[in-house]
Homo-oligomer: A and B are copies of this chain.
């Protein structure tokens, strides 16, 4: 491609955008809105996934050790626990600390607490966390067989509920994201198809005057990329500001909900969206053109 046709391509893109301002605007808007919807749900899915992961990581096995077990043996249990596959964190809870926690939970139940406080019936324990939720059960079983361990606690039912819910969130979130992304790609390429269709006579004329397919395609692809990128730009701005807004809102009002930090999330998403916009614009234009180039 010689420089003339490059210059021509750019000039032609600019002209076409100007001449078809209304159509261009409509297309940009459609692209922007479509990407916005997809991006928004990308953010939501990412955060739900994050929350689900954190929730899963909260799940722990509590390993109680006998009151009579000497400190060295307790140490042994600790190192055995740490050696188990998948174990990421082992925290020791002393008798006093266990009591303090109980107090916190039953803060209103003074009578019960008074009773318990007289002679602390609570065991020393280890709270064990694993990398992946599936490792909870084997860890609990292994811990149960260690010497000095009285009993092992883990809320099987709750864990399973939690797993099922988080898995459902992940799967459906991803499914919705994919469906949405597909839908949006289709909407954008539909829009491009319609704009190309509206100019099929022009395309035919160009071919009759001796233009090659590539020569005609080039400005259209430029235009597609331009529309895609401008749309994506608007989208990124909107996502950036709305996520920042939601993020500080949640930080202030509901600090217990752990949202993903703004960066690198937003940066990644912006790159993704700009790329998607450009790509859909380019490919959409090129594909839509094909049938009208057969002149």
Point out residues on A near B: beta carbons under 8 Å: 20, 22-23, 26-27, 29-30, 33-34, 36-37, 40, 108, 111-112, 115-116, 121-122, 151, 153, 161, 164-165, 168, 172, 176, 180, 183-184, 186-187, 190-191, 193-195, 197-198, 246, 250, 253-254, 256-257
Contact present for B256 and A161 (CB under 8 Å): yes
User: Can you list 28 pairs linking A and B with CB atoms under 8 Å apart?
Assistant: A22-B193, A22-B197, A23-B194, A23-B197, A27-B194, A29-B186, A29-B187, A30-B186, A30-B187, A30-B190, A33-B184, A33-B186, A33-B187, A34-B187, A112-B121, A112-B122, A115-B115, A115-B121, A161-B254, A161-B256, A164-B253, A164-B254, A165-B254, A168-B250, A168-B253, A187-B187, A194-B194, A197-B198
CB-CB under 8 A for A180 and B37, given A121-B111, A186-B29, A197-B23: yes
Contact present for A26 and B193 (CB under 8 Å): yes
A184 to B38, CA, bound (A): 12
Query: Which residues does chain B contribute within 8 Å of A36, judged by CB atoms?
Result: 183
Contact present for B40 and A176 (CB under 8 Å): yes
Query: Which residues does chain B contribute within 8 Å of A164, judged by CB atoms?
Result: 253-254
A108 to B125, CA, bound (A): 14
What residue in chain B is nearest A254 (Cβ atoms)?
Answer: B164
Contact present for A246 and B165 (CB under 8 Å): no
Contact present for A165 and B121 (CB under 8 Å): no
Query: Which residues does chain B contribute within 8 Å of A190, judged by CB atoms?
Result: 26-27, 29-30, 191
A227 to B227, CA, bound (A): 25
Query: Which residues does chain B contribute within 8 Å of A20, judged by CB atoms?
Result: 197
What residue in chain B is nearest A153 (Cβ atoms)?
Answer: B108
What residue in chain B is nearest A102 (Cβ atoms)?
Answer: B112
Within the complex, the shortest CB–CB distance from A44 to chain B, in Å, comes to 8
Query: Which residues does chain B contribute within 8 Å of A253, judged by CB atoms?
Result: 164, 168
Query: Which residues does chain B contribute within 8 Å of A40, judged by CB atoms?
Result: 176
What residue in chain B is nearest A193 (Cβ atoms)?
Answer: B26
A172 to B246, CA, bound (A): 9
Contact present for B198 and A165 (CB under 8 Å): no
CB-CB under 8 A for A108 and B151, given A26-B190, A183-B37, A194-B26: yes
Contact present for A112 and B108 (CB under 8 Å): no
Within the complex, the shortest CB–CB distance from A250 to chain B, in Å, comes to 7
Within the complex, the shortest CB–CB distance from A237 to chain B, in Å, comes to 15
Across the A-B interface, the 6 shortest Cβ-Cβ residue pairs: A198-B198, A26-B190, A33-B183, A30-B190, A194-B194, A111-B121
Query: Which residues does chain B contribute within 8 Å of A191, judged by CB atoms?
Result: 26, 30, 190-191, 194
With A161-B256, A191-B191 known, 4 other A-B pairs at CB within 8 A are: A36-B183, A108-B151, A115-B121, A190-B191
